[in-house]
Amino acid sequence: MPEPQDLYQLTEDVPDLGRPVLIQALTGFVDAGAASRLAREHLLSSLTNRVIATFDVDALLDYRSRRPVMIFVEDHWESYEEPSLALHLLYDGANTPFLLLSGPEPDLYWERFTKAIMMLIDRFGVRLTVGFNAIPMAVPHTRPTGLTAHGTRRELIAGYEPWLRRVQVPASVGHLMEYRLGQAGKDAIGFAAHVPHYLAQSEYPAAAEKLLTAVSRSTGLLLPTEDLRRAAEATRIEVDQQIAQAEEAASVVRSLEQQYDAFVRGQESNNLLAEVNGPLPTAEELGAELERFLAEQTRPNDEPRP
């Protein structure tokens, strides 16, 4: 059984980074609208970066539950998509260094992996760890993208109002990491973007933009978002066009807007039971109806939508 220090290997000597931020964006947990993936890929493709540590995926992954992809061509295997779990060093728009943990969420040794990350946090003098993901919610795409913020100290997420009170959810390595960091007296925060649940299976760049904007706000890092903003605008136009094709779908969105606006009014007045004019369908009824409509739509090239 590997010890925490055996789970990773530094690939090069790293100069003093000051007190950097660590962003952890592992795959494998809930990622509605592929928002976490879009945000992670945008950082790696837009900013100068290099790998400074790699993890032993053979010890951490269950290949049978998440089989890597191989390409077969005629009479031979041409390629193998080797899983990679790594710590990257990136530089933001002001040339400030920060760290990004990227790759598949471990299937095994969660506690040992978390201790390994804490060893790297101590080694590089990390001042704040930030995680993000995206969850499907009964919200309309016509309203601002919401966020659920959480942290090891309330002061770290000042200005964010809670959307949820007390819920039981499946654990993730990222959330366990935040919990253990809090127990160790270290600062860590997390953000969950709210994606309209009828768009949860499609790419939703508005949520990715919201996540990176929240990270910038909380850390002071200058992270790029312009390309994501343009993609979000294009997606909004496309979804609006689809919904405009059927009054039934437009009615569902209006009902979601009423639910959303009533909730916001309730928050502002400190009354979560704020009344809405007339009865509203449940979130499940609204989502199922709109998902059914969008699933029937096809792209211009007649390929099915995801």
Q: What is the pLDDT of residues 230-277, one digit of tens each?
A: 999 999 999 999 899 888 888 888 988 998 888 777 766 655 444 444
Question: What b/e readout covers 217-229, taking b as 16+ CB neighbours within 10 angstroms?
Answer: ebbebebbbeebe
Question: Which of the four pLDDT bands, split at 50, 70 and 90, describes residue 292?
Answer: low
Distances in whole angstroms, Cα of residue 146 to Cα of each of 55, 110, 140, 196 = 33, 29, 10, 10
Burial class (CB in 10 A: 0-12, 13-18, 19+), 199: buried
| Sign (positive or negative) of CA dihedral 62, 33, 88, 187 | negative
Average pLDDT of the residues in 123-151: 95
Check pLDDT > 90 for residue 1.
no
Q: Where are the domains of the chain?
A: 4-231, 245-296
Q: Percent of the chain at pLDDT above 70?
A: 87
- The per-residue pLDDT for 247 is 85
Q: Quick check: helix, strand or coil at residue 264?
A: helix
Strongest mean pLDDT among 74-78, 239-243, 301-305: 74-78
Question: Which of the four pLDDT bands, split at 50, 70 and 90, describes residue 78?
Answer: very high
CATH number attached to the domain at 4-231: 3.40.50.10900
Cα 156 from Cα 143, distance rounded (Å) = 26
- The per-residue pLDDT for 106 is 97
